[in-house]
Structure 1
Amino acid sequence: MPRFWLATRWAIALLISISFELLLNGPAGAQAAPRARAYTRSAHLMGSHFTFTAVSADDSLAWRALRAGLRETQRIDRLFSYWDSTSQVTKINRLAGIRPVVVDQEVVDLIARTLKISALSGGAFDITFASGDKIYKFDRQAHASLPDSATVRHSVRRIGWQKVQLDPIKHTVFLPGKGMRINLAGILQGYGVRRAQELMKKMGIAGGLINGSGDVYCWGQQPDGSGWRIAIGDPARPQSVSSWLTVSDLAVVTAGNYEQYFTVDGRYYGHIINPHTGYPATGLRSVTIICPDVELADALDDAVFVLGPVEGLAFINRLKGVSCTLIDDSGQTLVSKGMQLNSYHSAAPAAAAHPTSKP
């Protein structure tokens, strides 16, 4: 029986193939009750491709819910965009070092949650990464060398999540240093998916799937009653699959580094920057987080990328209700404690959850 296939994808080219069972009416003349089917709508949002899927026996309800989910994501994009000159995030950045900015409670709340994740991850996740100097060009080309160490150290001088000043009473955000900036790109797609899903479910959509370019949340069941099958791509073989799992009421979020990168002496350097050192995070090609909260998963994949395979796995193993699977620079698949994957032939054998040394 055909199933729903979806490969998680954020910055890496991962396989997405979705098939729906064809649902037929009863015999001619019979007054059969409407049967559930899957309705899908796609849009370009937050600079990425989003797909909204609703499972329903009521086509009018399904289309209303899809439109509502899309509009909610658009609203969030306008509110938090780093690039939109009218967004509240842009205003915070524009007035850095000048004065606090009054913002919506929603903005205060999301920034507060990012700071908690920063503290939890030891600063591996940091929305002030945008304060760093642009010293790299991720053009997929071979470069002669990395920037010199003094330039790299200087590039991160304004970064620091601890510097962000929130006043929950006055609803203000203040960046105390001139040139400081925040960018919520590392969590915003997950937040948009979460809010859209909550809205669609409240409207009566008991099953569905939203994919924000690799930030995936699925709930309920497919039209045939089965769970949602999520495929994880193979970084070494674009458009192929390394493993898969079947889930429901869970987020599966993947980050990777082979769409935006450069190489030096044959080594890949991806676009995710370690906010402590200023150098691109190394050691991993792909990170997939599985947990009930798609917003949290969206932030954790970047944190694990920065921490690397050893510290990243140890970090996830300390978190309740969170699992991960990683693909390191050597192509080996690593999994957290209790994580069960179905591997394809293209996947490297799964390793122990506690590797003893970095690759």
Structure 2
Amino acid sequence: MPIFGLPAWWRKSGILLGAGLLALSAGSAAAQPVAPARARTYTREAHLMGSHFTFTAVSADDSLAWRAVRAGLRETQRIDRLCSYWDSTSQVVKINRMAGIRPVVVDQEVYDLIQRTLRISALSGGAFDITFASGDKIYQFDRQEHASLPDSAVVRRSVKRIGWQKVKLDPATHSVFLPEKGMRLNLAGILQGYGVRRAQELMKKMGITGGLINGSGDVYCWGHQPDGSAWRIAIGDPARPHTVSSWLTVSDLAVVTAGNYEQFFTVKGRYYGHIINPHTGYPATGLRSVTIICPDVELADALDDAVFVLGPVEGLALINRLKGINCTLITDEGQTLVSRGMQLNPYHSAAPAAANVPHPPKP
């Protein structure tokens, strides 16, 4: 059945956690009955998918909590090995090696994930495209000032092989075929969200009724903190690294942020981030940060890149068409925009959020 207005194929940056951790009661010796264990948080960090992950479980059972955290971590590792762009044994690498040669039979899980990405491509008009890896690498995101952008002819050639419509799926054999030599898939735009979702589902199935998983800005939190409060998530300020622009309180929701303020270069003082528009070959401009809030962290992970490519006007319009999904955007000019119905709490002196885009961004 449809979820939040989307088709049934979806079952599918800075983070601050609210306080409220409860201390364990000391209790007295034999004179008093033993008090039941009180819930607390159990957290483990790991480097996965080229990013920093944090797995947090809320539980009164030490053994259960640590088992669940380890299980979530192992599940994310499994998905990374299965779908990595860099691991020579991954099924994605096998697809890329056989580009222009023959289809590759993959696990149903991989087939279904690729199929969902193509539907997001259709939904976003190709703004999200896992064949972006087919493009030539013509930029260096070294945080330095560059003299100019590459020649326009070079840019046009760089995207010649990109095109999500070219990917051939065979449901009978669950095979994937890239028809042109040099074509490549890269699931980086959705894989962290998928890993977080699968890890959360596993931890919850094991009995963890509250927790938070953060895959380098791809956050899903469920249940409550030990004191019963919801989770507080802060959104970073691109203009001032390591500071907060706004925050919101959530439970059973994903909060996923993409930004161009870590991997970028500048030309005449203008920022050009690492998210490339697959249609033009140029870095997407107009936005510094995109945060998607929705019940599905995998879907949110894909939508943040799509909105980044579409820009503030079209990106906000896309989110406003999707029921149950919200976003907050920070433009190149530092203006905060929010989708219809989005409630955002400015942090201290941050400028209040605007409900609509007053005019298209300057070229």
- TM superposition score normalised by structure 1: 0.95
1:221 & 1:96 partners in 2: Cα distance? 46
One-letter identity of the residue aligned with 1:25: S
Q: Give 3-state SS (helix, strand or coil) of 2:226's partner.
A: coil
1:177 & 1:258 partners in 2: Cα distance? 34
Is residue 76 of structure 2 the alignment partner of residue 60 of structure 1?
no
One-letter identity of the residue aligned with 1:182: L
Q: Give 3-state SS (helix, strand or coil) of 2:311's partner.
A: helix
Is residue 30 of structure 2 the alignment partner of residue 27 of structure 1?
no
Once the two structures are TM-superposed, the CA of residue 27 in structure 1 deviates from its matched residue by 3.1
Q: Give 3-state SS (helix, strand or coil) of 1:108's partner.
A: helix
One-letter identity of the residue aligned with 1:227: A
Q: After TM superposition, where is structure 1 displaced by more than 4 Å over at least 4 residues in a row?
A: 15-20
1:27 & 1:123 partners in 2: Cα distance? 61
CA contact (8 A) 1:190 1:296 kept: yes
Task: Name which of 211, 216, 219 aligns with 2:219.
Answer: 216
* Residue-by-residue CA offset, 1:295-352 (whole Å, 9 max, x unaligned): 0000000000000001110010000110000000011100000001110134222113
Q: Give 3-state SS (helix, strand or coil) of 1:298's partner.
A: helix
- TM superposition score normalised by structure 2: 0.94
CA contact (8 A) 1:131 1:158 kept: yes
2:15 & 2:59 partners in 1: Cα distance? 26
Q: Which residue of 2 aligns with 1:6?
A: none
RMSD: 1.1
Alignment of 1:156-305 (within 5 A): 156-305=159-308
1:321 & 1:334 partners in 2: Cα distance? 17
Q: Which residue of 2 aligns with 1:4?
A: none
* Residue-by-residue CA offset, 1:275-308 (whole Å, 9 max, x unaligned): 0000000000000000000000000000000000
Once the two structures are TM-superposed, the CA of residue 354 in structure 1 deviates from its matched residue by 3.9
CA contact (8 A) 2:22 2:39 kept: no
Q: Which residue of 2 aligns with 1:326?
A: 329
2:355 & 2:67 partners in 1: Cα distance? 46
Once the two structures are TM-superposed, the CA of residue 23 in structure 1 deviates from its matched residue by 1.6
CA contact (8 A) 1:230 1:247 kept: yes
CA contact (8 A) 1:73 1:196 kept: yes
| Structure 2 residue ranges without an equivalent (≥5) | 1-12
Once the two structures are TM-superposed, the CA of residue 19 in structure 1 deviates from its matched residue by 4.6
CA contact (8 A) 2:15 2:233 kept: no
One-letter identity of the residue aligned with 1:128: T
Q: Which residue of 2 aligns with 1:91?
A: 94
| Structure 1 residue ranges without an equivalent (≥5) | 1-8
Q: 1:256 to 1:332 in 2, by over 3 A?
A: same
Identity of aligned residues (%): 83
2:347 & 2:75 partners in 1: Cα distance? 37
